Structure 1
Amino acid sequence: MSERLLEAEQITTQERSMFNLVITRFRRHRMAMISLGVFVLLVLFSFVGPLVWKWPHTMVREIPSLSPPTLDHPFGTTRAGQDNFAMVMRGSQQSLKVAFTVAILSVGIGSAWGAIAGFYRGWIDAIMMRFVDIIFVLPFLAVAAALAGAVDGGVGWFEIALVLGLLGWVGTARVVRGQVLSIREQEYIEAARAAGASDTRIIFRHLVPNATSVIIVAATLEMAVAILSESALSFIGLGIQSPDTSLGSQVSDSVGAAFTRPWLFYFPGVFLILICLTINFIGDGLRDALDPRQTGGRK
């Protein structure tokens, strides 16, 4: 009996950290895991591919014009004598740069704005959210097109991302404010106030981290919306300008060739859809994994 008691005393319960719980829950989301693998391959294709592929995305005299897919040019060639495989890699790279930059700007500005408004409430909240309402009712693409068209020296991926990021944070601000309004009433926030924590520390050390689930979802949505918005701007000639390219501009330039030279239209279109779908599924998986009400990972 004493030996059994001794063995029982030696048994320890290893507590799972929050990070381990999130990883466990995320791995149980099959579509999110598949999408994560596909997204990693897309990122490698976009950023590592151009370094090892033999053809550049620019015009090369040796490349035949409007050639259908071959072993030497898997995605065919363009009218200007460009390898379409290299073009798609370059376009995916630029579209992903826009998506990442917009997500950082939108989530950074929107999270801070919404958290401050939700924490202070009262007249501060009223003024800040009325400003959000004003930006929210503006026609997003029209304003983005006007700002992009006003940029001197041509429009590149960073200018597009900056415009979209500075206009796209209002949705994040709204959802973060709603989350903070409920979190600020929790007991640990009262304990932090009683311990003498400053407002800044409470907002950015306690409120914002505990709104991570909605922030993550907002970030993934902003990435997908950014790619689609850049594509929409390309359709009206205000996207990333030649000689650079993006998936949106490639789709826009080859709309008329969808049936006569389909390789110019469908290859960038498929990659555009893949990137947006994988980002959305990853966001769904992260939302479920970060939701504290999900208890499937605890054992």
Structure 2
Amino acid sequence: MSDTEGRATDHATDDPVPGRGAGAEPVATSRQRGQTRVIMTRFLRHRPAVVSLVLLIAIAAFAFLGPYVWTWDHLVHREIPGNQPPSLDHPLGTTSAGHDILGQLMRGTQQTLKVALTVSLLATVVGSVWGAVAGYLRGWPDAIMMRVVDVMLVVPLLVVVSAIGGNFRGGTTWYAVALIIAAFSWTTISRVVRGVVLSLREQEFVEAARAAGASGARIVFRHLLPNAAGPIIVAATLLIAVAILLEASMSFLGFGIQSPDISLGLMVDNAKTAAFTRPWLFYPPGLIIVLICLTINFIGDGLRDALDPRQTMVRR
């Protein structure tokens, strides 16, 4: 081999990627960007998830931006005639008390989404920390913490939150309802995170952190929880749908958000006797509940496929 060929071979070995230096930081940055691109590509190829995301954004825009452009709110107005079918002035009709159904639907969707997002955030934080600590410590702390979770899982969730909501001062406000639901909704996600952490704690990067003198809290919050982000995100997404159904059930039973405020569940409850005589009162809020839950489930399905490193098949 000539000297020129040897120098060319050495140069190709030292710099395997043309146009990029040998520094570790650019390589890590490029790897992170590549992983993000792969996740986005997988999610965008999951057509039901993409359609569901667009539809959910449209529903959220309807709920939070619609009141700024629509004439009527969710309250009673003397100018609104009662028991009117859908018309140009009131596209979804009116109630006997003088509510505009479209205005109520915007407000009800807004309050229901507030409850669902708050429940998902609070329950995810509590459940993730609880499950991560239990999985990392193992032994008797894990046994005690998981027995608490098992006891809470045995008790019917709807019965508990409805009973507490009926006796909770200020329970008719959306944030009080969200706190009640979140207090009993973190158990499922804690079991998911615990299972992931039990496998992660035996990995080499955790052993290296221990050898470097990292505390247990640092290992949990800086190493274990970030590496369990995929299952946590998926579980948090699906928890939104659970919270929506619980809030709707509570309001339907009379223990959730109450008048003069409104939620989708309360709208269904108020119109349950008019499902066949005045369907414009009953079906719109029920349809919104179904759409939100379906879109959330499809989005969670797409996130699961996108974040799963073992996923090789692409849904079409």
Q: Deviations over 1:149-169 (max 9, x none)?
A: 112245111111100000010
Equivalents in 1 of 2:170, 2:119: separation in Å? 21
Partner Cα distance (1:30, 1:192) in 2: 40
5+ residue gaps, structure 1, are none
In structure 2, the partner of 1:33 is 50
Offset at residue 139 of structure 1 (A): 1.9
Change (3 A) 1:9 1:235: closer
Give the corresponding residue for 1:180: 197
Tell me the distance in 1 between the aligned counterparts of 2:302 and 2:225.
20
Aligned to 2:86: 69
Q: Tell whether the 8 Å contact from 2:274 to 2:281 is kept in structure 1 after alignment.
A: yes
Q: CA deviation at 1:233?
A: 1.1
Q: Does 1:155 align with 2:192?
A: no
Structure 1 residues 53 and 198 mapped into 2: Cα distance closer, same or farther (>3 Å)? same
Counterparts of 1:104-115 in structure 2, within 5 Å, are 104-115=121-132
Unaligned ranges ≥5, structure 2? 21-26
In the alignment, which of 217, 232, 236 is matched to residue 215 of structure 1? 232
Equivalent pairs: percent with the same residue? 56
- TM-superposition CA deviations, 1:230-267 (whole Å, max 9, x none): 11112221110100010011011111100000000011
Matched, 1:228 2:276: no
Distance (whole Å) between structure 2 residues aligned to residue 106 and residue 152 of structure 1: 21
Correspondence for 2:271 among 226, 244, 254: 254
What letter corresponds to residue 83 of structure 1 in structure 2? D
Q: Residue 18 of structure 1: CA displacement?
A: 2.8
- Once residues 87 and 238 of structure 1 are traced to their aligned partners in structure 2, the CA distance between those partners, rounded to angstroms, is 19
In structure 1, C-alpha distance between the alignment counterparts of 2:171 and 2:121, rounded to whole Å: 23
| Counterpart pick for 1:202 among 219, 222, 232 | 219
User: What's the TM-score once normalised by structure 1's chain length?
Assistant: 0.93
CA RMSD between the two structures:
2.2
Contact 1:35/1:279 (<8 A) preserved: yes
1:1-299 paired onto structure 2 within 5 Å: 10=18, 15=31, 16-294=33-311
Following superposition, the deviation at residue 24 of structure 1 comes to: 1.7
- Report SS of the residue matched to 1:176: helix
How far is the alpha carbon of 1:294 from its aligned partner? 2.8
Contact conserved, 2:241 with 2:297, CA < 8 A, in 1?
A: yes
Task: State the distance in 2 between where 1:267 and 1:239 align.
Answer: 19
Report which stretch shifted further, 153-162 or 238-247. Answer: 153-162
How high is the TM-score relative to the length of structure 2? Answer: 0.88
Q: Distance in 2 between matches of 1:164 and 1:18?
A: 35
Count of residues in Structure 1 that have an aligned counterpart in Structure 2: 296
> What is the one-letter code of the residue matched to 2:73?
P
Q: Runs ≥4 in structure 1, deviation > 3 angstroms? A: 4-17
* Structure exhibiting the larger radius of gyration computed from Cα positions: 2
